Structure 1
């Protein structure tokens, strides 16, 4: 908040925080991320938080210029001296000063004008972790979210280890830093604003980025993995996700989906040739999920699938592209963070080349859908590849072609990785 300029940020990765009482605010800072963060607070100090751990911090009423943020990639000795890749506060575990950019900030000032709390998410120091910051009491319901894949999409000139710098940090000019008190948005600040419309994108971004609640309100901040779903097809698709729901995506449009750590048996797919009424009821030619825009169940074949399970054995994400429900739209499924670079693509013209016995309106069936036999469906748990499954494997070598095709078709990344799913890459 640039009224909150001094009003700081409680931004810890995967955290939940609560302000309580008119005399003091309680911040319960919780790390729900699948990796360790080093929570930092001014006032407050700092603490290592492994996945699932929390830190209860009491802050006096009237406090302003306060911040809470996540530090990543840290190492401290027994005396609490060390260094962090992002958010470092002078090389100490117990912060007495603000962190070094880039770091996503949750900023707040308690019991100010008219006994209101002022709060914001700020990207004026850049971005290192996704954040959801929302009130949970006092009848205050307007929260803030910044969970787009900013690190993965960061412009080259703003890239930093572990995060994405704000242009002021890089160029240090009045144009970006507003030192004279008079400046406006720029193309680089719009990069942040387009992805997180409710967050501060440059120092004078007050009208759309400062929020209030009555003093004594409780709050939560949650961090989670994000999936950036983009339609590059020359036609409209209706993206579907379980969990997640659904959304119409015209050519070039995107949908950022946030998924909780530990989620498994999850799918993302494209539906084609859909028509829905104002209540979200209708039908799709491929991938239909019971006639709803907002999917609660898997889609009807044929449909190309992005499948994943987060933070499983060894704290790894497991992901694949599957043709076990057939094919309707070319797809790419790739990681965009955590140094994980091995993605999957199935972009061949399978529909046009589809064997006659597998052809379907709008797509190409997998043989299990057509014949429903153990030979193709592996219901007994024992089956191998067939000439028909090899048709898919020959065209998309990294994708599942039949239900037991694990050895060549399952990929992993460290837990906490962000991903992109692109239709028609």
Structure 2
């Protein structure tokens, strides 16, 4: 019995020492949301967390390999089930899998060969928000890995996604962009666009420029919307100092009935006939939209539903609306310091709409005011609206998921009635308009 007690004591000391050294070497990664908007941070492994502006989330006892990313425009219920516009991980708040493209990724592989960590930022799966990855403690001679350029603003039309700028592999799904048949692949015209804006990020599968090597044993920081370096600012479209206070969008309901206006970003508001709602949108905002919802009913907590344009059953929208809905879309201070504006009926039509500048020396007025609902093809008809063909048939012909599509009989129906509006995903030549940065805008329902 005495020997047993001695062995037990020795085992206890060894266990305590093991736990002490393990905890002293445990790696932490501090995640900070420095964006002006809410980000739903995600980590695999690690889970997920909502981070409002300025909030942090620290991952402890990190080891092995993994990734961290930010999700945008999310809505989750009390059980943590819902969806995000970008970076969604199977509809869960607590991620158990990688996110859906496009998403800017902070990657790490700890304690690799020669006692080194390999960390970096990647836009191989596209871009949704700026991200920086750097060391918090210890000595690391490698530069910070980050991507802070205005990728969304400069994104080619064929790569644009409601949540950001997609990667060409997801869009075209071929070996040139996915690098599936060999271990080494080359830069492409698309990866060069990303590289020009984010020189310190990996832009295609064999691009190691975004990787930093640090000695094992130090802690790290992942920052959403980090400060831009002077080099990246010079490579990005310049901002207009006069717009630091934001761009005003005046939304007017000129319909004879109530609509529930929605904006992403921006939220939502009930607008009775003749009422207005003005929102302030940050310069540099991309892939944003404004629309009207009809047939809505909300309780005192802002929960309910709408017959058209519903955004997850909430008054204050945190994501895009459900088809059918007529859309006013915009990207501010985009490529060449221009605002890109359009009206789209790709997701169908519910309310007549006008989008026009109120200032800034631009006089482009875009409208879609035809009687589309009354003459809507039978296959697209729904209560209070006319659906988009993609929402009904969900095929590549109408959704253009492969990136190569043309007009159809259904898109021609919309185009004949609203010639200035997007009628299918590749309808850029006659539907995308620009204004010099510096304008404020007006959106009118039933102009």
**What is the TM-score normalised by the length of structure 2?**
0.49
Report the alpha carbon displacement of residue 143 of structure 1 after superposing the two structures with TM: 0.5
Counterpart in the other structure of 2:186: 184
Residue 308 (structure 1) aligned to one of 244, 267, 285: 244
Match of 1:149 in 2: 150
For structure 2, list consecutive stretches of 5 or more residues without a partner in the other structure.
1-21, 248-277, 284-335, 344-354, 363-435, 443-447
1:204 aligns with 2:206: yes
Report the count of equivalent residues. 253
Match of 2:84 in 1: 84
1:195 to 194, 197, 221: 197
Per the alignment, residue 166 of structure 2 pairs with 165
Contact 2:42 2:69 in 1 (8 A): yes
Question: Per the alignment, do residues 343 and 48 of structure 1 end up closer, same or farther by CA in structure 2, a change over 3 Å counting?
Answer: farther
- Contact 1:22/1:216 (<8 A) preserved: no
* Structure 1 residue 97, shift from structure 2 partner: 0.4
Question: In the alignment, which residue of structure 2 is the partner of 1:44?
Answer: 46
Q: How far off its partner does 1:219 sit?
A: 2.8
1:35 aligns with one of 14, 34, 37: 37
Please state if 1:114 is matched with 2:114. Answer: yes
Q: Distance in 2 between matches of 1:150 and 1:135?
A: 24
Counterpart for residue 380 of structure 2: none
Give the structure with the higher percent helix.
2
Aligned-partner Cα distance in 2 for 1:87–1:215: 29
Q: How far apart are the structure 2 equivalents of 1:197 and 1:164?
A: 17
Q: Which 4+ stretches in 1 moved above 4 angstroms?
A: 253-258, 314-319, 332-337, 339-347, 409-413
* C-alpha distance in 1 between matches for 2:338 and 2:174: 36
Gaps of 5+ in 1: 1-19, 228-243, 259-266, 269-305, 320-331, 348-397, 400-408, 414-425
**Contact map agreement 2:28 2:220 (CA 8 A) in 1:** no
Secondary structure of the corresponding residue to residue 152 of structure 1: helix
Tell me the secondary structure at the aligned position of residue 111 of structure 1. Answer: strand
Give the superposition deviation at 1:310: 6.7
What does 1:22-421 correspond to in 2, within 5 Å?
23-61=25-63, 63-64=64-65, 66-141=66-141, 142-180=143-181, 181-206=183-208, 208-224=209-225, 254-255=235-236, 268=241, 306=242, 308-309=244-245, 316=280, 345=360
Instruction: Tell me what 2:402 maps to.
Output: none
Compute the displacement of 1:211 (Å): 1.1
**Counterpart for residue 302 of structure 1:** none
Checking the alignment, whether the CA contact within 8 Å between 1:334 and 1:341 is kept in structure 2 is no
After TM superposition, the structure 1 stretch with the greater mean CA deviation from structure 2, 184-193 or 96-105, is: 184-193
Deviation at 1:49, TM superposition (A): 1.1
| Superposition deviation, residue 172 in structure 1 | 1.0
Could you say what the CA RMSD is over the residues aligned between the two structures, in angstroms?
A: 3.9
- Residue 59 of structure 1 deviates from its aligned partner by 3.4
Write the deviation string for residues 242-270 of structure 1: whole angstroms up to 9, x where unpaired: xx98x9x9xxx855679xxxxxxxx84xx
Once residues 51 and 32 of structure 1 are traced to their aligned partners in structure 2, the CA distance between those partners, rounded to angstroms, is 6
SS in 1 for 2:73: coil
